[in-house]
């Protein structure tokens, strides 16, 4: 049934003609019963008003009876065909859809109906039967814009982006008028066209420009899809521009922009935009996708108080019936340091657990340093018959890395082929991190050199991070020789290498790197830390300038540091790359964002309250030492989540065991 592979899209894909003016799942029914009813049983005499009866049976999920009646119908209506196709798609019954397809081909009235061709393509697409969907399109005598759009949608959803773009180009060549849905499906196809020789960002911008020229650029459906595409590409400024110029916004548009911020490490902006949405129009009611996005944002900044308020809203509005919302809620609690609350929600999901539920629990245990528990959840998952996916292995390998479970990680990595999961760059990055943290740097390099795919920046970055921990200059230079080509604008790689050089007393090399940073106008991502106090979010940035509030916080930290020095503490100034006196370097350390957040929490929270902080970078060694001391001296529990994992500080001890 497969159609020939489409020709490659031309250099400019979109010479399109101007447009003309102008759930709850049903009970599953076995395929064999439906097909037997339609193909092998003798025709059932149709009762009076049989078309209506077939439609009613489909709506109630009684597909076997509906299929039997359809076989005997002398003149099924368009609505009857539509009802059976929708029911087949809901039930996941490809055999029933194929049987309806055969009946349609023999129907002299509807075999040329473009509406039913569209519905048939939609049904096959939702059932994963893309070759059959192509066949319907190729054989359709009348190819309306709706038939074309149905095929574009099917191809984009199946990640056949290049073919979808080729079909879109065909529409222009054949002068088929496009509409807003054509553009939306074309934009999604750009993201799916991952193997194209043209970058996805260039394809999206080309369709964006074409939509603007044809008057569709501000159409709500097109603009919302553009925001989503730019979000996936990480081009937040373009998404902001599209959102700002939209004349009308619905809840889907707002949600797309909120999700854009949440996915691109701007959770604070996501929260502010959510608050703006709620205040702008009382008729704008968050939907389940909005809830998932904002939970992700709350998790990003450890906003546990606001997350709990949203949990109450979820219960009031009945969103707790949706597994996707419960998965996001579980992730929020775990990322805010409430592992037990997250596990409780996992248990509440019960038999409805999907692979995302299991992945979230594995990841939660991993980021808290409970590697053995994460591996056990993985074993429970597979024993329950749930197949692990790409994300599952990233989560469980990451958990092994944080806990130093080298042998366990190797075993799991080698087992991926048993589950038909091909290792990607992300999995190799996890393995390099696992081996590197444990000090097996030679083995990590051998793994990289033996990769069947080109090592990504993540892979080399994992090696560089391990070299920083173990102060291995040679391998650090090897990693950076690749990273400087792959990520020429990433200042963090230069800074990490400079840190390694500085600790090795290679000051001339440090100077060279600082000159390169200046020459290329590269700036290191500043350290930022967030703390929620009385349900209000406060952000601190690592500084070495002065203002009254910062000076007060630094003075408090300075008091603790003075006491620590009496116990033999020596500030770790090795990471301060400025050529200044040691005393000045120590003052810079006092301005690290997590220290400021800890001091703010001590001043503004009551005794016995847990201080919860999130940081956008790895926790530095000096801040780790100081926070351990403060937790003991101030008798406070302090939970810090950095870019890699959680650190639970209590009584002068960190849960990471100084292994991070």
* Reported pTM: 0.82
Residue 453, classified by CB atoms within 10 Å of its CB into exposed (0-12), middle (13-18) or buried (19+), is: exposed
In the DSSP assignment, the letter for residue 42 is: P
The mean pLDDT value for 121-143 works out to: 95
Q: Cα separations (Å) of 241 from 255, 261, 268, 548? A: 15, 13, 18, 36
Dist. CA 368–CA 353, nearest whole Å:
22
**R_g of the chain computed on alpha carbons:** 29
| pLDDT tens-digit readout, 286-343 | 999 999 999 999 999 999 999 999 999 999 999 999 999 999 999 999 999 999 999 9
Bridge partners for 612 per DSSP: 639
- Select, from the ranges 50-59, 190-199, 407-416, 540-549, the one with the highest average predicted confidence (pLDDT): 407-416
Is-contact 484 477, C-beta < 8 A? Answer: no
Name the band, by pLDDT with cuts 50, 70 and 90, for residue 543: low
Task: Tell me what percent of the residues of the chain surpass a pLDDT of 70.
Answer: 92
The mean pLDDT value for 139-166 works out to: 94
Q: Catalogue all structural domains in the chain, each as residue range(s) with its CATH number.
A: 422-523 (1.25.40.10), 527-652 (no CATH)
pLDDT of residue 317: 94
Residues in the chain: 660
Dist. CA 389–CA 385, nearest whole Å:
13
Beta carbons within 8 Å of 628's beta carbon, 6+ residues apart: 649, 652, 653, 654
The mean pLDDT value for 9-22 works out to: 44
Q: Specify whether the backbone of 611 is left (phi greater than 0), alpha (psi in -120 to 50) or beta.
A: beta
Least confident of 157-166, 187-196, 328-337: 187-196
- Helix (H, G, I), strand (E, B), or coil: what is residue 638? strand
Give me the chain's average pLDDT, please. 89
C-beta neighbour count of 651 within 10 angstroms: 10
| pLDDT tens-digit readout, 265-299 | 899 999 999 999 999 988 899 999 999 999 999 99
Residue 22 has pLDDT above 70, yes or no: no
């Amino acid at each position: 049934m497969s159609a020939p592979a489409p020709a490659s899209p031309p250099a400019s894909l979109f010479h399109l003609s101007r447009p003309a003016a102008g759930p709850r799942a049903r009970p599953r029914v076995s395929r064999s019963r439906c097909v037997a009813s339609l193909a092998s049983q003798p025709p059932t005499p149709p009762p009076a008003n049989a078309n209506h009866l077939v439609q009613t049976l489909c709506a109630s999920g009684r597909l076997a009876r509906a299929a039997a009646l359809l076989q005997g119908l002398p003149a099924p209506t368009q609505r009857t065909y539509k009802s059976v196709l929708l029911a087949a798609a809901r039930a996941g019954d490809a055999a029933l859809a194929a049987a309806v397809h055969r009946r349609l081909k023999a129907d002299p009235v509807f075999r040329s109906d473009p509406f039913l061709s569209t519905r048939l393509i939609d049904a096959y697409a939702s059932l994963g039967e893309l070759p059959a969907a192509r066949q319907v399109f190729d054989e359709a005598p009348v190819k309306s814009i709706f038939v074309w759009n149905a095929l574009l949608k099917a191809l984009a959803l199946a990640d056949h982006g290049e073919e979808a773009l080729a079909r879109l180009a065909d529409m222009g060549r054949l002068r088929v008028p496009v509409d807003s849905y054509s553009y939306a499906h074309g934009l999604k196809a750009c993201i799916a066209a991952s193997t194209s020789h043209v970058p996805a960002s260039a394809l999206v911008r080309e369709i964006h420009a074409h939509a603007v020229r044809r008057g569709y650029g501000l159409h709500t459906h097109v603009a919302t899809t553009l925001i989503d595409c730019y979000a996936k590409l990480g081009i937040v400024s373009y998404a902001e521009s599209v959102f700002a110029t939209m004349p009308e916004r619905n809840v889907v548009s707002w949600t797309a922009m909120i999700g854009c911020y949440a996915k691109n490490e701007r959770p604070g902006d996501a929260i502010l935009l959510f608050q703006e949405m709620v205040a702008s129009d009382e008729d704008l009611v968050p939907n389940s996708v909005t809830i998932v996005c904002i939970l992700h944002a709350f998790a990003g900044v450890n906003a546990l108080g606001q997350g709990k308020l949203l949990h109450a809203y979820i219960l009031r509005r009945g969103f707790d019936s949706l597994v996707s919302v419960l998965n996001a809620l579980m992730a929020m609690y775990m990322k805010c340091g409430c592992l037990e609350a997250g596990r409780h929600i996992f248990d509440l999901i019960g038999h409805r657990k999907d692979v995302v539920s299991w992945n979230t629990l594995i990841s939660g245990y991993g980021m808290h340093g409970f590697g053995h528990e994460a591996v056990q959840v993985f074993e429970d998952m597979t024993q329950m018959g749930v197949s692990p996916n790409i994300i599952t292995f990233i989560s469980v390998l990451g958990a092994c890395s944080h806990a130093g479970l080298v042998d366990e990680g190797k075993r799991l990595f080698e087992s991926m082929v048993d589950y038909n999961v091909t290792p990607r760059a992300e999995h190799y990055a996890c393995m390099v991190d696992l081996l590197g943290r444990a000090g097996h740097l030679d083995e990590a390099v051998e793994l990289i050199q033996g990769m069947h795919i080109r090592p990504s920046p993540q892979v080399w970055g994992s090696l560089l991070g391990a070299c920083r921990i173990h102060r291995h200059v040679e391998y650090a230079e090897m990693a950076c020789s690749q990273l400087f080509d792959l990520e020429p604008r990433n200042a963090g790689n230069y800074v990490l290498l400079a840190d390694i050089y500085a600790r090795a007393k290679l000051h001339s090399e440090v100077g060279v790197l600082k000159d390169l940073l200046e020459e290329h106008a590269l700036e290191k991502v500043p350290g930022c830390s967030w703390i929620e106090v009385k349900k209000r979010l406060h952000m601190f940035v690592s500084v070495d300038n002065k203002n009254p509030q910062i000076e007060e916080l630094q003075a408090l930290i300075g008091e603790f540091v003075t006491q620590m020095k009496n116990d033999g503490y020596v500030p770790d100034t090795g990471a301060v790359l400025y050529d200044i006196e040691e005393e000045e370097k120590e003052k810079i350390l006092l301005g690290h964002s997590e220290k400021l957040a800890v001091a703010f929490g001590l001043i503004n929270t009551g005794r016995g309250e847990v201080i919860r902080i999130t940081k956008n970078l790895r926790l530095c060694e000096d801040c780790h030492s100081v926070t351990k001391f403060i937790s003991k001296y101030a008798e406070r529990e302090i939970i810090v989540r950095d870019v890699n994992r959680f650190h639970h500080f209590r009584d002068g001890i960190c849960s990471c065991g100084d292994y991070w």
